[in-house]
Chains A and B, each alone.
Chain A
Amino acid sequence: MSWKDYIKEDMFPLFTCAGCTHGTVTNAFARVADELKLDKDKTVIVCAIGCAGRIPTFLDFPVLRVTHGRALAFATGIKLSHPEMKVVALMGDGDALAIGGNHFIHAARRNIDITAIVSRNEIYGMTGGQYAPTTPPGARATTAPYGMLEPAFDTCKMAAGAGATYVARTDAYHVQHLQRTLKTALQHKGFGVVEVLTSCPTQFGRRNKVADPAKMLERIKALTVTQAQAERMTPEELEGKFVIGEFVNTSRPELTEIYARAFAGMGV
């Protein structure tokens, strides 16, 4: 088997724009699935609405593509009713953190064994460039014609604060790091969050003078620093930067295991 066996290439072409790095995340996921030899019939992919939410329908797994923001709610039903399944939710940042924010924090609190991969392109791509809760202050969006007036979410801090037991950030420029991070996350037991910085040249780039796909990647490269680099930087230098790496990798009782223990000996 090769990583391509995890993708339904016969269903191509993809609908995505040239230079969209949501696809890089899906691609990395397929490669890691191959490395880990994920059982296609023991894994469920859950995704929802948005460009990030549509690409996973091309993965050769059972795929449940649900209503905008609700991937983790559906995933909870899958995992709790069938704890033997590996459940992976692939989401956009608006999907996971705006409309889906409530489900996100409660999945983290429950520490249910689901891997949540959030593709942070800092904009609403599919609907044409409105601001997301991740849009950097000052950046232009169709609904922020004078620049983004709100602060952006720190996804990793929120995930850690809510109780996720694996939290990491990576990006679509450092592809090796992306794959390594996804691999660790997929082997983690409990609620894991991987935020991936991605680029939307069409909707974010065009409005923010980085319409060129290569420039968008260079922007990601310039915005990201490793944890080691971050330690040597002042708070001012870190302003607007994204630290990549692992922030939480711990264990505490996982929800379906708690259920299993609580009800051991009960039922059929």
Chain B
Amino acid sequence: MSSQLIQGNEACAWGALKAGVKFCAGYPITPSTDVVELLAQELPKAGGRFIQMEDEIASMGAVLGASVMGEKAMTVTSGPGFDLMQENIAFGAMAQLPCVVVNVQRSGPSTGGATLPAQGDLIQAKYGTSGDSPRIVLYPNSVEEIYRMTIQAFNYAEQYMTPVILLMDEIIGHMRENVDLEGVGDVEIVSRRRTDVPPAEYRPYAADETGIPILMPFGSGYRYVVQGMHHDVNGMPNTGAANVDATIRQINGKIDRHKERIWLWEEKETEDADILLVAVGCVSRSALEAVRQARRQGLKVGLFRPITVWPFPEEPLARALAHARAVLVPEMNWGQLIHKVKEVKPDAVKAVGLNKYDGTLIMPEEILKVIEEVRA
């Protein structure tokens, strides 16, 4: 096994190929483009197809078209492109079509700064679409983890039958780290469930005890309607109150019910932490360094790092806050993650934000400075 210097964006493409991606549609946008460039090169060799569509709306549509055929499909974008994808992401959530949407975040709003890192799309990744729909959002913090979380994103999409968002940081997308992809080990690869009930008895949207529907690929002998309008168990339009209620319960409930299996997080020195840092992605690496330095000074500082951002790992965070007097949330935006942290923290715990939105990374010293202020 040999390790090699790999860029975060490349690791994403290799992870997708490992997960079995067979279709990618995309539209170029910095800082995400390397992912589709590599997929354009590699997908044909894996028996898959890549197409550059006319825009991100079309990319997201084509991806869901491939998904309805049973294929593992993905698209890759950044800020403004992610904005354009929202309507079809909601379609995927409503129609319960799996796919992976990678958003290598850049500084916004709007065109903002194409190569400037930022963490401004945390809330949008969950709440960017109309109506109530679930979202699984994963947020890796290293090149190796990008590889593993891309696979995980496909696994969750296929298992829970919903679009999964992989949020990345420009910094890590463009960073090179030594990774041994083969050494990452035997990662489990999940594909959507199938059924062998006779077509006449098949009810695509009648979920079983798991709460998750089994959608047979189009062309496999099962004929039904897949649509974004409220629909009955056959997929036919139905806006009756009981049916609408059942649909909303199903698409949201299937994630709620399984959230404990979807939650991924990492804790460092949380056991006795009286000051807890909560950070994601590139900022969590500065936060970890801040924890190390603080511990050297004898301070009880710990780090809680959500990897699954949505559904938010509420209970694990609540446990990590057991000894905390204060929780410090450094993030590269105006304040997004902190809202969720405030919802979870007990009243007695003080929540402090450290927000930076100038297109540069939050450094460990900046975090240490706020730790000092919080202690004072």
A146 proximity list for chain B (CB < 8 A): none
Shortest CB-to-CB span from B230 to chain A, Å, is 12
Contacting residue for A77 out of B46, B73, B226, B228, CB 8 A: B73
Shortest CB-to-CB span from B26 to chain A, Å, is 12
Is the beta-carbon distance between A57 and B53 smaller than 8 angstroms?
no
Is the beta-carbon distance between A70 and B219 smaller than 8 angstroms?
no
Contacting residue for B62 out of A41, A77, A259, CB 8 A: A77
Find the B residue at minimum CB distance from A99: B57
CA distance A103 to B53 in the complex (A): 9
Give the dominant DSSP class at B's interface: mixed
Is the beta-carbon distance between B228 and A54 smaller than 8 angstroms?
no
Contacting residue for A80 out of B47, B49, B55, B68, CB 8 A: B49
B223 proximity list for chain A (CB < 8 A): 40-41, 60-63
Shortest CB-to-CB span from A174 to chain B, Å, is 30
Contact A81 B61, CB 8 Å, known A65-B227, A65-B229: no
Contact A266 B62, CB 8 Å, known A62-B218, A62-B224, A81-B49: no
A42 proximity list for chain B (CB < 8 A): 219
Contact A74 B62, CB 8 Å, known A67-B88, A81-B71, A82-B69: yes
B48 proximity list for chain A (CB < 8 A): 267
Instruction: Produce 1/0 per residue, B49-77, CB < 8 A to A.
Output: 10101110111111111111101010000
Find the B residue at minimum CB distance from A40: B223
B235 proximity list for chain A (CB < 8 A): 57, 63
Tally B residues with Cβ within 8 Å of A: 46
CA distance A215 to B224 in the complex (A): 37
CA distance A266 to B41 in the complex (A): 11
Q: Which residues of chain B (198-233) have a CB below 8 Å from chain A?
A: 218-229
Contacting residue for A41 out of B57, B59, B219, CB 8 A: B219
CA distance A51 to B248 in the complex (A): 24
B91 beta carbon closer than 8 Å to chain A: yes
Is the beta-carbon distance between B44 and A78 smaller than 8 angstroms?
no
Q: Which residues of chain A (50-95) have a CB below 8 Å from chain B?
A: 54, 57, 60-67, 70, 73-82, 85
Is the beta-carbon distance between A62 and B236 smaller than 8 angstroms?
no
- Chain A CB within 10 A, most for which of B22, B218, B222: B218
B253 beta carbon closer than 8 Å to chain A: no
Shortest CB-to-CB span from B4 to chain A, Å, is 24
CA distance A65 to B22 in the complex (A): 23
A102 proximity list for chain B (CB < 8 A): 54-55, 58
B87 beta carbon closer than 8 Å to chain A: yes
CA distance A20 to B338 in the complex (A): 54
A207 beta carbon closer than 8 Å to chain B: no
B172 beta carbon closer than 8 Å to chain A: no
Shortest CB-to-CB span from A139 to chain B, Å, is 29
Is the beta-carbon distance between B227 and A78 smaller than 8 angstroms?
no
CA distance A64 to B65 in the complex (A): 8
B303 beta carbon closer than 8 Å to chain A: no
CA distance A54 to B48 in the complex (A): 32
Is the beta-carbon distance between A85 and B219 smaller than 8 angstroms?
yes
CA distance A85 to B319 in the complex (A): 52
Find the A residue at minimum CB distance from B216: A62
B54 proximity list for chain A (CB < 8 A): 102-103, 106
Is the beta-carbon distance between B62 and A73 smaller than 8 angstroms?
yes
Is the beta-carbon distance between B218 and A66 smaller than 8 angstroms?
no
A41 proximity list for chain B (CB < 8 A): 219-221, 223
Is the beta-carbon distance between A78 and B49 smaller than 8 angstroms?
no
Is the beta-carbon distance between A63 and B57 smaller than 8 angstroms?
no
Shortest CB-to-CB span from B51 to chain A, Å, is 6
CA distance A215 to B225 in the complex (A): 35
Is the beta-carbon distance between A81 and B225 smaller than 8 angstroms?
no
CA distance A67 to B235 in the complex (A): 15
Q: Which residues of chain B (249-270) have a CB below 8 Å from chain A?
A: none
B237 beta carbon closer than 8 Å to chain A: yes
CA distance A70 to B224 in the complex (A): 19
Is the beta-carbon distance between A73 and B61 smaller than 8 angstroms?
yes
Find the B residue at minimum CB distance from A262: B44
Find the B residue at minimum CB distance from A105: B54
B63 proximity list for chain A (CB < 8 A): 77
B19 beta carbon closer than 8 Å to chain A: no
Is the beta-carbon distance between B226 and A76 smaller than 8 angstroms?
no
Instruction: Produce 1/0 per residue, A5-30, CB < 8 A to B.
Output: 00000010000000000000000000
Is the beta-carbon distance between B88 and A103 smaller than 8 angstroms?
no
Find the A residue at minimum CB distance from B229: A65
Shortest CB-to-CB span from A109 to chain B, Å, is 9
B51 proximity list for chain A (CB < 8 A): 76, 80
Instruction: Produce 1/0 per residue, B70-86, CB < 8 A to A.
Output: 01010000000000000
Contact A78 B66, CB 8 Å, known A42-B219, A61-B223, A267-B45: yes
A263 proximity list for chain B (CB < 8 A): 44
Contacting residue for B228 out of A67, A259, A268, CB 8 A: A67
CA distance A78 to B71 in the complex (A): 10
CA distance A41 to B44 in the complex (A): 26
Is the beta-carbon distance between B237 and A77 smaller than 8 angstroms?
no
Shortest CB-to-CB span from A71 to chain B, Å, is 8
A164 beta carbon closer than 8 Å to chain B: no
CA distance A42 to B226 in the complex (A): 16
Can you list 17 A-B pairs, Cβ within 8 angstroms, ordered by A?
A: A40-B223, A42-B219, A57-B227, A63-B227, A64-B68, A64-B225, A65-B225, A65-B228, A67-B91, A73-B57, A73-B62, A74-B61, A76-B53, A77-B62, A77-B63, A77-B66, A78-B68
Q: Which 10 A-B pairs have the closest CB atoms?
A: A77-B65, A73-B61, A77-B62, A267-B47, A65-B227, A62-B218, A74-B65, A73-B58, A81-B66, A268-B47
Q: Which residues of A contact B (CB under 8 A)?
A: 11, 40-42, 44, 46, 54, 57, 60-67, 70, 73-82, 85, 102-103, 106, 259, 262-263, 266-268
